[in-house]
Each structure stands twice: as C-alpha cells, then as structure tokens.
C-alpha cells in the first residue's frame, strides 16, 4: 500500500506526515489492519527495538475533584462508586510504589485528583518523592497533580521528580464540550511549565469520547508540536455514574488504527498504551505492543486493570522484553533516558470539527458495550488489600 510505504519512510526519518495521511490511517479497512500494524511496527522497532517500558500508577488522593471533566469518575458531581480518600502519607505511597517496582515497573506515576496543587501539596508530594527514591534510587518518578502555578514545577524537579504528566486529552476545538472548569490553553501552559523546569514532559489523549477522526488528528498533531517525551494514549473507560458512561465507540480494530496513527505522527517518542486497553482491545492487546513501547502495569486510578503477571506473560509471549532500569528509553537524539537528561522542549492545525464518515460509523463498528469489563478498583492504594502489580 503506497500510503503505508510513505508513512514508514517518513517515520524512519522522523518526518511529520500530512494531515491527509494521518486521517487515511484511521479510515483503512479491517482487511488492511495487519498491514497497518506491521508498517507502524517497523517505525516502533527502528526507535525502540522490542523493549516495553512498564509504568505503575499510585493514586495519592482519590475522588472529590472540583473539576467537571466528563470522562472522569473523580469529577465534580460524579455518582461513580469509586474509592474516595485524602492524601496518602509518604510511607504509604512509597509502599504502594514499591509493589509496582517489584513487578517490573521502571516509572512510578504519582497522581492526585484536583484542579492543581497548593504549595502545601507540593511539599507533601516532595516528601513522597523522597521516600520513594530512598527505597528505589533508580526508579523514575512522574508527578500528575493538575495545573501548575509558577515555580511549582521547579520545586518538584528539585525534590527529585523526573517527569510531569498533563494530558491534552482531545482537540482544542472540542475541549469545551468535555470540560468547562479549565481550558485547553491551561493544559498546554502546564506542559510548558514542566518543560521549562527541566522535567520530562508526558502528555497524551483520550480516544473514544465521541470525537471525530479530525479531532484525533488535531490533538496528536498538537502533541507533536508540543514535543513531550512520552505520549500516553488512553481509551475511554465508560464508568457508570459519569456523563460519558454510554460512550462505547471503539472496536479493537479502531483502537489499533488510532495507536498506529499516533506512532506515525510521533515516531520517536515513548508512546504508552494507557487506560482502557483491557476494555477495548481485549484479546488483541498483544498486537498493540507492535505499536507502543510502553504500558501501565496493573491497576489504574479508580478501575482495575489486567493482572500484573498477565501483563508480563503477554509481553514475553508476544516476543518483547521488559525494559530494564539501566536502559535508556528514548533514542539518543532525544536525550536517551528522557528523565535522566534535559527534556525536549509547534503548530496545531485546526479543522472542521464535524464528525467524519468513519467517526460517525464508529458506533456501528464497535462491539457491544462490555460493561462487565469495567471493575472499580477496590485494592491497592487507599485500601488494606494488596495492590495489583
């Protein structure tokens, strides 16, 4: 297929595809799916070999968020029956992180619900980072605390944080349909705060919220322009009690096409398969390893993930290997480890936000809603039960 040959050549040269080429990936047929995966897999292997980086989430503070993000079970007014608790103590968070590291995680992601941290919160998280680093000096620590104020990124960096996550989530043109309590520009500004402080920037998207193909391409092109070191791709987990509980728009095939498009647009960054892979990719998860070079191990913030051992077995059975702590994640031209060195520090094209033909048919191609695959987390951080790692 001429399209795929062109995309592979551009990916190997780190050249940005055209918007038309990116859109074309999303509209390829299921008959061509394996060819799409194989083509994007060539680009993935060029920059990352067969390594898979493992990341582990620790939810420092769960629920009761004042923001109204429609996709989130912790949002203002959420009726989801999730765990709710205030800040974990540093030793509690360190213990939770240690379980992930023991399971093979190279990075621990410390997440807290809320609009953004107060200075006291930054002090609290700084102590938690210190406790984790004291136990596991080589582990990467990524903080995800919401919108940052001036100077807070620098304080997190000084405390030992390696990275900061703040996702763009969706296109600028449709952002107001998802969240009204902050803006798309607020999110971009926070990512730039992190980059300016020397933190490795992590910023990605959520697919499956009813967006069009054009929206998906818009947000991925915006991410390419912002140039984070890692791009997590989440697939909406439609949790009961949230406004988007009825959005079941993804089939495994569409999810794989989205991942392939992200890889072609962002060929040499850490593309992470994040929340929702078990719900939407299901038995086709191993194919995604040919597209991404990073996944989350175990559970997510408020929902349960695949068993940690099953994650490790899947990686091995698919012919991949877990990336070790001493191995640089990023290619040398991007600074190697990303977190161990200065992070890489633009332009998002706008488009008609009307759903494309393929987006409007997404519901038709998606499998029946698998609500049985969405399980609220009842173990790990904030509970007396052992974590999944």
Q: Which residues are catalytic?
A: 65, 69, 72, 109, 142, 202, 272
Can you tell me the distance from the alpha carbon of 156 to that of 176, in angstroms, rounded to the nearest whole number?
29
| Among 78, 55, 105, CA closest to 300 | 55
Q: Are 212 and 197 spatial neighbours (Cβ–Cβ below 8 Å)?
A: no
Residue 95 C-beta-side C-alpha neighbours within 13 Å? 13
Backbone angles phi, psi at 139, to 5 degrees: -70, 140
Q: In b/e form, how buried is each residue of 322-337, taking b as 16+ CB within 10 angstroms?
A: bbeeeebbbbeebbeb
What is the bridge-based pairing of β-strands 321-322 and 51-61?
parallel
Which DSSP string do the residues of 129-158 spell out, in sequence order?
Answer: HHHHHHH-TT-EEEEE-SSPPTTHHHHHHH
DSSP letter at 301 equals: S
Can you tell me the distance from the alpha carbon of 359 to that of 354, in angstroms, rounded to the nearest whole number?
9
Token pair of 130 as six digits: 């210190």
Residue with tokens 């399209």: 3
């Amino acid at each position: 297929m001429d399209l795929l040959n062109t995309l592979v050549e551009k990916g190997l040269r780190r050249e940005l595809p055209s918007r038309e080429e990116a859109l074309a990936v999303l509209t390829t047929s299921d008959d061509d799916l394996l060819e799409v995966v194989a083509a994007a897999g060539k680009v993935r292997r060029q920059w990352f070999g067969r390594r898979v980086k493992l990341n582990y989430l620790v939810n420092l503070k769960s629920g009761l968020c004042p923001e109204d993000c429609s996709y989130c079970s912790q949002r203002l007014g959420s009726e989801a029956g999730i765990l709710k608790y205030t800040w974990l103590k540093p030793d509690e968070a360190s213990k939770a992180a240690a379980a992930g590291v023991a399971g093979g995680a190279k990075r621990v992601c410390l997440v807290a619900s809320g609009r953004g941290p107060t200075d006291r919160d930054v002090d609290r998280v700084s102590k938690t980072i210190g406790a984790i680093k004291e136990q596991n000096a080589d582990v990467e620590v990524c903080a995800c605390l919401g919108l940052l104020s001036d100077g807070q990124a620098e304080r997190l960096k000084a405390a030992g944080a390696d990275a900061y996550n703040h996702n763009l989530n969706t296109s600028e043109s449709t952002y107001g349909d998802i969240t009204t309590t902050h803006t798309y520009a607020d999110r971009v500004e926070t990512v730039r705060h992190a980059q300016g402080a020397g933190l490795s920037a992590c910023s990605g998207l959520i697919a499956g919220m009813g967006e069009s193909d054009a929206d998906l391409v818009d947000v991925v092109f915006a991410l390419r322009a912002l140039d984070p070191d890692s791009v997590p791709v989440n697939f909406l987990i439609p949790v009961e009690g949230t406004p988007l509980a009825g959005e079941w728009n993804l089939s495994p095939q569409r999810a794989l096409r989205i991942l392939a498009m992200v890889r072609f647009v962002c060929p040499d960054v850490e593309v992470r398969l994040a929340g929702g892979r078990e719900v939407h990719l299901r038995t086709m998860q191993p194919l995604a390893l040919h597209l991404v070079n990073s996944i989350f191990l175990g559970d997510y913030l408020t929902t349960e993930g695949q068993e940690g051992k099953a994650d490790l077995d899947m990686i091995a059975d698919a012919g991949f290997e877990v990336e070790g702590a001493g191995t640089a994640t990023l290619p040398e031209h991007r600074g190697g480890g990303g977190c161990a060195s200065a992070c890489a520090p633009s332009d998002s094209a706008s488009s008609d936000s009307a759903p494309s033909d393929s987006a409007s048919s997404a519901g038709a191609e998606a499998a029946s809603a698998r609500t049985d695959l969405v399980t609220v987390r009842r173990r790990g951080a904030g509970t007396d039960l052992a974590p999944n790692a």
